[in-house]
Chain A
Amino acid sequence: MTGAGAIGAVGDVETPEPRLEAGAWQPAPLELVVCEPLEDEAHRSAAQKTDAQLVDLYEIALGAHAKAVEGGEGREGEADYWDVLQRAIVEEAARRPDFGQELAGEDQGSRRQRRLLRKRLEALLAAREAKLAGPTDGAVVEDPPADRSGTR
């Protein structure tokens, strides 16, 4: 790591209203030299999520991946990011023997919320089953990439 080493001082941030900045300070520019591959980071992130969080994120990743593949909203370059996250979530779900069991019996929230949760859970459970059943890496039910060999 090499750094510029500017030591921040409280309140020295440029602002339209200096009186607001009593608690602000300016950390030195961050140099992320020590990074790990996106795959590892995605797995690490997924491993810390609860089942419910995984289900939620999986839906987000599916949607964002589809958008990135379509190339809309200037997000063409994000496909890999979401693809990696999708696969990490499915693998994490597959690693958990009781994945989704508590969520399936969830009776909190409105009927609409429960229906939505079940629908999301089913999508991830299907991908998980495919992952557990097949030798292929990173099985994703919806919108599978054409060729994933060698990506992990």
Chain B
Amino acid sequence: MAELRSKGDLSGLRALSRHRDLLWDRDDRPVDLGAPVRGEAIRALSDFYGPEVVEALYEAIGDPDASVRRAAVTGLLELDSPGAATALIFALVDWPEGHDSELRAEAGRGLATMDASGLPEAYAARLLESGRSEATPFDRQVLEALLEADVRGRDARPVLIDFLISRLDVPRGDRDTTVEGMLEWLAADSVEALLGCLNGGRTRIAAARLLGASRDARAVEPLVALLADPDPEARATAALSLGQLRHAGAVEALLAATRDSEYDVRDAAMSALDSMGAAAVTVGLAAMVEPGSAQLPPSPPPDGDPARSHDQALPWAERMLSRLLGPGPGAS
């Protein structure tokens, strides 16, 4: 080993990084005497540089022996090159869930400290290409760490959001849940970019869906406008998202949508109104009858008793309903 290293024989070191020396003990259990050799070869290779070194270290991340896997991750972090960062991204995205969790977390944190640009987009791109159906909480942790450490500072977030939004443009009927999952995490920062997508094109349906998940009131008016879209799928999505926003200002438009010519839109509008709750619908109706009255009862204090605040809200809702409905048939 030392001789190969001193000769700079990278091919020889690479061969040793795959060395297996199997032995069976008295209980017929296998012992891999090659593991220390592989680990040493990986550490020796880490002293050098270049794509071949990166490839050898990357391959060793899947080694059966934990010490070799650790040496490979450490080596890639020490190389601190764009190639090494790419290798770590590939490994992190493919890393089996629950396997070597500590080393995986270290690799994720270490990746964020590496001196390479565009890591959040590179990670997201690899995640999308990996064929995974969803992004996991671990992916979110890595992406947040990469964004936090990015040399572009706060500018890194919009770049990632623009990249993800560009990937929303999928064929009709398809849905990229991985992209949408990542955009949901970034919802607080992505509302304006998503609003810009509502004007047209295939991305408007996915954007409408994500705006519902954003819970941001700025999306109410644009989504109400989308209820007039010629595409029933866009109208239905807008209706469902308005339901998620739970904003009384959407009630009138949702009521109108319950008379849509398409079943899916009517169904979505009904579901949205159901999900908004009686109080929000009542306020919305009141606003239709008496503009300016669209005010919800005072919110309970954050640490208030929910049951008590519910009791306080009920008489208020009853008063609003009686104003809307007028005196009952038996009233004098």
Pairwise interchain contact B131-A34, C-beta atoms closer than 8 A: no
Pairwise interchain contact A41-B122, C-beta atoms closer than 8 A: no
Tell me, rounded to whole Å, the shortest Cβ–Cβ distance linking B152 to chain A: 17
Task: Tell me the complex Cα distance, A135–B51, Å.
Answer: 31
The one of A2, A20, A23, A49 in contact with B30, judged by C-beta atoms closer than 8 angstroms, is: A20
B-facing residues in A79-134 (Cβ within 8 Å): 81-82, 85
Pairwise interchain contact A41-B131, C-beta atoms closer than 8 A: no
List, in ascending order, chain B residues with CB within 8 A of A40's CB.
Answer: 81
Task: Tell me the complex Cα distance, A93–B85, Å.
Answer: 26
Pairwise interchain contact A30-B81, C-beta atoms closer than 8 A: no
B8 touches A (CB below 8 Å) = yes
Known: A1-B129, A20-B22, A60-B6. A27 touches B49 (CB 8 A): no
Pairwise interchain contact B99-A48, C-beta atoms closer than 8 A: no
List, in ascending order, chain A residues with CB within 8 A of B48's CB.
Answer: 45, 57, 85
Task: Tell me the complex Cα distance, A6–B126, Å.
Answer: 12
List, in ascending order, chain A residues with CB within 8 A of B51's CB.
Answer: 32, 35
List, in ascending order, chain A residues with CB within 8 A of B234's CB.
Answer: none
List, in ascending order, chain A residues with CB within 8 A of B130's CB.
Answer: 3, 5, 7, 28
Pairwise interchain contact A32-B96, C-beta atoms closer than 8 A: no
B-facing residues in A18-54 (Cβ within 8 Å): 19-28, 30-36, 38, 40-42, 44-45, 48-49, 53
Known: A16-B20, A25-B96, A35-B51. A3 touches B62 (CB 8 A): no
Pairwise interchain contact A13-B64, C-beta atoms closer than 8 A: yes
Task: Tell me the complex Cα distance, A17–B115, Å.
Answer: 39
Total interface residues on A, CB under 8 Å, equals 52
For residue B89, which residue of chain A has the nearest CB? A1
Q: What class of interface size applies to chain B in its complex with A?
A: 35 or more
The one of B49, B94, B116 in contact with A8, judged by C-beta atoms closer than 8 angstroms, is: B94
Interface residue stretch chosen among B53-61, B159-167, B324-332? B53-61
Interface 1/0 per residue, A56-90 and B, CB below 8 Å: 01011101100100000101001001100100000
B7 touches A (CB below 8 Å) = yes
List, in ascending order, chain B residues with CB within 8 A of A15's CB.
Answer: 64
Tell me, rounded to whole Å, the shortest Cβ–Cβ distance linking B19 to chain A: 13
Tell me, rounded to whole Å, the shortest Cβ–Cβ distance linking B51 to chain A: 5
Tell me, rounded to whole Å, the shortest Cβ–Cβ distance linking B61 to chain A: 6
Pairwise interchain contact A57-B47, C-beta atoms closer than 8 A: yes
Tell me, rounded to whole Å, the shortest Cβ–Cβ distance linking B265 to chain A: 36
Pairwise interchain contact B8-A63, C-beta atoms closer than 8 A: yes
B306 touches A (CB below 8 Å) = no
Which 7 A-B pairs give the minimum distances between C-beta atoms?
A64-B8, A45-B49, A5-B131, A24-B64, A5-B130, A3-B129, A60-B8
The 8 sampled A-B contact pairs (Cβ below 8 Å) are: A27-B58, A28-B94, A35-B51, A38-B49, A42-B50, A44-B49, A45-B81, A64-B9
- For the complex with contacts A10-B99, A20-B32, A45-B49, 5 further pairs of A-B residues with Cβ separation under 8 Å are A1-B129, A13-B64, A23-B65, A60-B5, A67-B8
